[in-house]
Structure formats: structure tokens, C-alpha cells
Amino acid sequence: MSLCLRALPILLLTGGLAHAAEPTAGDARPPRFEGAIGLISSYGPEYSGAERSAWRVRPAGFLRYGRITISGAGGFTTRREDDVERGIAAELVERKTWRLSLSGRWTNGRQEADSDALAGMGDIDGTVLARLRLQWLPEGPWRYSLAVSTDVLGHGGGSLGELGAARSWTLGAETRLQFGAGLSFGSDTYMQSWYGVTPAQSQRSGYPVYTPGNGLRDVAAGLTLRHELGKHWDSYVGAHASWEIGAAAKSPLVQQRLGWSLGAGLVWRF
């Protein structure tokens, strides 16, 4: 599954996209330590460009101490409602209208066993991704972000860039609707690993040899409805769609350009 689709429960929306929500008046002095644990479920393509979809259920987790956060697959922060990066992250700079953060996380890559359509393609090794993100928070409801992720272990992950825009609406004391949209682009190495077909892979899989080069990957958008269930419980449902573009769309691995996914989650906050 693409990074964007895998990121649906986290963002909304942007694996690669970033979301942001306006802090409430009660968030002026957030607690120094806070966290959440729970479960999330998602239904989406077996991999980026796949025709078939599958269900996934996984645990969600989040901890914050000051400017340091540790987050797993969970799409929840806490009552502060601000952005959280996956993995271990630190907010390097925080100003009234912009923020700069750095994070590192493990990604599982892609396994040939994820889909019958990947037979003969081999695995994309897991690696550690370092991500630098700049957020612009101007006056008004919209938030904007620019992020660059890179494979720091040299396992063939390359680099991925993401541009995002997001906003939210307060629908009640406990309910918030969030929207996010974004554009992503990959380096030569990234695009070759995820969308390319080498001569050896071609012989094993039957796909034609394909060398995409660097360029645009996809555009994506999504909605998440989040509702508080009392003092300590939080829930969400979300929908996300992405459209493969550029060299990614021409890959023989892409069975359909439009990918969509659904997600839901429930967590306990502390």
C-alpha cells in the first residue's frame, strides 16, 4: 500500500499528507505529559496501484512529553489536537505562524506476499526514514506543509517529498471534521523501488522492464470525522482517495490509478 494510504489513520491526511487542527481555548496550557492507546482498522489497496483491497487491524499508540512525541500507527493525538509525526519526533522550532519538526520512524517496506500481483517482484526492505517538515499556519482555517523523507539506512527507499494543505471544522463541543489534500514526488531511487521493474524482476514476474526516474507520484485528499466519547475516549472514521500521476501512473504495477481507503479507530486517552 502507498505511504499515503498507509498513513490514513494518522494524518489526515498525508503519509504522506499533513493535517492540522486549530487549538481550542482549553489547549492554551496543555499538560506536559499525555498519551493515547487503542485500535484502528482500515480497508484499502494491497499496495500502491493495486486493484484488490484488504482489511487491516493494528494497535494505535501515542506519547508526548513536552516537544518530544512517540507515535505508532494511531491517528490520534490528545486534546491538544495538533499534528503528530509517526515514530520519534521533536519539534525543533515553534513560532506563531510556522513550525519545524524532525522525526525518525521504521517503515516495513513492501513484501511480495502482500499481493498476488507482486509475484516475482521480491521485497522492498524495511528501513528507517528521517523526515523534516515545515508547517505554515497563517491567519484563518487553512494550514500548509512541506515535508521531505529520506532512507537513512540506504535500503533503497530513496527520498519522498510532500506538499500538503489542510483545515478543520468544529461541528460541536465533541466533534470535529478534518480535510487534507496533498501532492507527492519521489527521487529516482524511491520511484524505481516502488514503481520500477528491473530486468531480473521482469524475468520472474512477466512485467515489462520499466525505469520511471524521479518525478510526481500522486495527488490525494481525504476527510476524517473525529468525535470525543467522554473525558478519556476518542473515535474517528475517515475516507481517503489518491490518484497516481506522472511516471508512477505508467508503471506496469499500477493496475488502477485511483486508490481509495476507509478507516476507523477507538482510543483511550490519558
Q: 52 vs 24, 43, 139, 221, 264, CA distance in Å? A: 41, 10, 42, 20, 20
Task: Render pLDDT for 145-200 as a digit per residue (tens, 0 to 9).
Answer: 999 999 999 999 999 999 999 999 999 989 999 999 999 999 999 999 999 999 99
Check residue 270 and give its pLDDT: 86
* pLDDT above 90 as % of the chain: 71
Check residue 22 and give its pLDDT: 39
Check residue 118 and give its pLDDT: 98
Question: Cβ atoms within 10 A of the Cβ of 138, count?
Answer: 11
CB burial readout 192-201, b (16+ within 10 A) else e: bbbbbbbeeb
Check residue 66 and give its pLDDT: 84
Tell whether the model's pLDDT for residue 125 goes beyond 70.
Answer: yes
Check residue 160 and give its pLDDT: 98
What CA–CA distance (Å, rounded) separates 218 from 3? 10
Task: Render pLDDT for 11-68 as a digit per residue (tens, 0 to 9).
Answer: 443 333 333 333 444 445 556 788 889 999 999 999 999 999 999 998 888 888 888 8
3-class DSSP state of 242: strand
Question: Which of 62-71, 83-92, 216-225, 227-236 has the least mean pLDDT?
Answer: 83-92
Give me the residue label for grid cell 490519558.
270
Return mean pLDDT, the chain.
Answer: 86
Check residue 19 and give its pLDDT: 35
Taken in order of first residue, the domains within the chain and their CATH numbers are 3-269 (2.40.160.40)
* pLDDT above 70 as % of the chain: 84
DSSP state of 24: P
Check residue 8 and give its pLDDT: 40
Q: Which of the two residues, 10 and 255, has the higher pLDDT score?
A: 255
Q: What is the DSSP string of 120-175?
A: TS-PBPPEEEEEEEEEE--SSS-EEEEEEEEETT-SS--EEEEEEEEEEEE-SSSE
pLDDT band at 230 (very low <50, low <70, confident <90, very high): confident
Check residue 76 and give its pLDDT: 53
CA-nearest of 187, 205, 227, 194 to 6 is: 194
pLDDT band at 113 (very low <50, low <70, confident <90, very high): very high
3-class DSSP state of 248: helix
Question: Cβ atoms within 10 A of the Cβ of 58, count?
Answer: 14
Check residue 86 and give its pLDDT: 76
Under 8 Å between Cβ of 180 and 14: yes
Contacts of 200 (CB under 8 A, 6+ apart): none
C-alpha torsion sign, points 142, 240, 70, 268: positive
pLDDT band at 72 (very low <50, low <70, confident <90, very high): confident
